[in-house]
């Protein structure tokens, strides 16, 4: 059987590692590329599609791209689609979010959302979504994960994503749920190769 390769549109080593774990038993060789596209879409799906299609063209392979964000209820969904752009570093982005939450009563209910776009040459791009509900906590807890993981508490586990190892995080995470939706759709079995 020919090797099946799948491009992953990311320059984030943490995200690539997550995909490698989530797709480990699918017989795919994952190839990461940072497509270098501006996230100018109005939705997670539009940004995911921009990245997936650019990565697919760059590598001449089927490719996935995703966009995700944390949405805080008391802030009417902020930072949402702008989660990766409210500050120059993740530490600063997290501080911007925590500063905005000061003065609001807890719990600070939130959800992580993720949309994955799967771009296969000659086919319409497919989309898969996942979400994880929890709350933002005012202090960093744990060193694992990336992004807002250390301040996102998952109530069922009574831990932040930053306190979870990769396997535990995969039980709850928005990206893992979107990947499971993609697997369940049969889209990966239809990849050329």
Q: Which residue segments constitute the domains of the chain, with CATH numbers given?
A: 4-185 (3.90.950.10)
CB 26 within 8 A of CB 5: no
Quote the pLDDT of residue 192: 86
User: For tokens 């038993």, what's the residue?
Assistant: 25
Report the sign of the C-alpha dihedral through residues 74, 77, 80, 82, in that order. Answer: negative
CB 26 within 8 A of CB 183: yes
pLDDT tens profile 148-180: 999 999 999 999 999 999 899 999 999 999 999
Which of 67, 99, 149, 165 is catalytic? The answer is 67
Alpha carbons within 13 A on the beta-carbon side of 15: 22
Residue 110 has pLDDT above 90, yes or no: yes
pTM across the whole model? 0.93
C-alpha closest to that of 87 among 79, 96, 78: 96
The CA distances from residue 51 to 25, 166, 177, in Å, are 24, 24, 20
Q: Can 67 be counted among the known catalytic residues? A: yes
Residue 16 has pLDDT above 80, yes or no: yes
pLDDT tens profile 82-105: 999 999 999 999 999 999 999 999
């Amino acid at each position: 059987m020919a090797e099946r390769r799948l491009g992953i549109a990311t320059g984030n080593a943490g995200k690539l590692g997550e995909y490698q774990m989530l797709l480990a038993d699918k017989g795919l060789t994952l190839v990461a590329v940072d497509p270098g596209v501006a996230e100018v879409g109005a939705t997670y799906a539009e940004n995911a599609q921009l990245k997936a299609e650019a990565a697919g063209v760059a590598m001449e392979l089927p490719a996935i791209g995703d966009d995700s964000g944390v949405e805080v209820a008391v802030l009417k969904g902020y930072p949402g689609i702008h989660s990766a752009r409210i500050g120059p570093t993740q530490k600063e982005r997290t501080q911007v979010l925590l500063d905005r939450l000061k003065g609001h009563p807890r719990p600070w209910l939130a959800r992580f959302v993720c949309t994955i776009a799967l771009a296969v040459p000659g086919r319409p791009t497919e989309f898969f979504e996942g979400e994880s509900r929890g709350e933002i906590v005012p202090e960093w807890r744990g060193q694992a994960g990336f992004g807002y993981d250390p301040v996102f508490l998952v109530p069922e586990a009574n831990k932040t994503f930053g306190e979870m190892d990769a396997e535990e995080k995969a039980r709850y995470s928005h990206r893992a749920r979107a990947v499971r939706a993609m697997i369940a759709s049969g889209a990966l079995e239809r990849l050329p190769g």
